[in-house]
Amino acid sequence: MSERQSVLIAGGTGFIGSALCQGLLDAGHDVAALTRRARPSEGRLRFITWAPQDVETAAALLAATIGDYSVVINLSGESIFSGRWSDQVKRRIRESRLQATRSLVRAMELGQRKPRLFINASAVGYYGTHVEDAAIAETSPAGKDFLASVCRDWEQEAERAQILGIRVARLRIGVVLGQGGGALAKMLMPFKMGLGGPLGSGRQWMSWIHLDDLIGMILWLTEQPKVSGALNAVAPHPATNREFSKTLAHVLRRPCFIKTPAFVIRLAVGEMSIVLLEGQKVLPQAALNAGFRFRYPDLEPALRQLLAQ
């Protein structure tokens, strides 16, 4: 087992955060999760209430204890699927990420002791949408659409921790496949009913990752003192939406022929349709170069493992 560490997680009660808390506990680490609503401790998992929208107040309250944690992980942020992207929803998507990150970095600045490592979640949306098949690595520039601007500003807030001498890793996370939540849970029902199929052209790329590999990458980062900067948290073999749909249908032993036209999706969800109809072919070059090994690099075995349970 690796050296025991104290880990503080913002966003530790969501789909990814809950699994991460359990993974860290299973690895023998001490874990505390920041939450906006008061919750009693659950066994070895401690909850700390905070209100990150008030940056200075949240930072002042955290400053006294944030140095007790060797690792701080930020998964905070309102879901991009929380509703049609009105100006109000887009503002909540942006501010929920920036305020939480500012609060954490400000607390590190105010604290007498500093964490060793700050892992900040971002997303492959950083690169914007790409219709071409060219592969994207961490050195590729930021895109220009709404999600790209959110991710760029989000990462810039996190990078301020470097000035404090803290190692910063920025995880650009793809579509996370796991049980009981996330993208896969939303896809399963129509496919199980035999009504699944590609969205729009089906040619858009889906850069995905198995939840176990995402948790594994975060645990691995806590043990790699020389790894920092941007890392694409995606499997090495992305799939087009058509390939993904066919593979999911094959694993479920269901047909895959009902295509949802792009105009229907645009009418249904408006600007948010960009997430479903456009994508990017992202590769985890930095993680592979640094020696990380995926348990589920290929889509079909990943889906079989998840759906077998």
Question: Which tens digits make up the pLDDT trace of 7-31?
Answer: 999 999 999 999 999 999 999 999 9
Return d(Cα 230, Cα 121) in angstroms, integer. Answer: 10
Which among 294, 10, 292, 279 is positioned nearest to 154, based on CA atoms?
A: 10
- DSSP notation for 262-279: HHHHHHHHGGGHHHHH--
Please give the model's pTM, rounded to 2 decimal places: 0.95
**pLDDT at res. 309:** 63
Element (H, E) at 303: helix 299-308
* Confidence grade of residue 262 (pLDDT, cut at 50, 70, 90): very high
E strands, the chain, in order: 6-10, 30-35, 45-49, 71-74, 117-123, 167-173, 175-178, 181, 205-206, 208-210, 229-233, 239-240
**pLDDT at res. 42:** 86
Return d(Cα 11, Cα 253) in angstroms, integer. Answer: 36
**pLDDT at res. 104:** 98
Which among 125, 150, 147 is positioned nearest to 282, based on CA atoms?
A: 125
Return d(Cα 151, Cα 126) in angstroms, integer. Answer: 5
Q: Domain segments of the chain: what residues?
A: 6-178+210-234+283-294
In degrees and rounded to multiples of 5, residue 293 shows phi and psi of -120, 130
> Is residue 66 scored above 70 in pLDDT?
yes
* Confidence grade of residue 1 (pLDDT, cut at 50, 70, 90): very low
Determine how many CB atoms are found less than 10 A away from the CB of residue 134: 8
Q: What's the average model confidence in pLDDT over 211-215?
A: 98
Burial of 29 (0-12, 13-18, 19+ CB in 10 A): buried
Highest mean pLDDT among 52-56, 107-111, 191-195: 107-111
Return d(Cα 124, Cα 278) in angstroms, integer. Answer: 12
With a pLDDT cut of 70, the percent of the chain lying above it is 99
- Up-side HSE of residue 23: CA atoms within 13 Å toward CB? 19
In tens, the pLDDT along 166-208 reads 999 999 999 999 998 888 998 999 999 999 999 999 999 999 9
* Confidence grade of residue 2 (pLDDT, cut at 50, 70, 90): low
Mean pLDDT of the chain: 94
Return d(Cα 36, Cα 197) in angstroms, integer. Answer: 38
CATH number belonging to the domain at 6-178+210-234+283-294, selected among 1.10.3720.10, 3.90.226.10, 3.30.2320.50, 3.40.50.720: 3.40.50.720
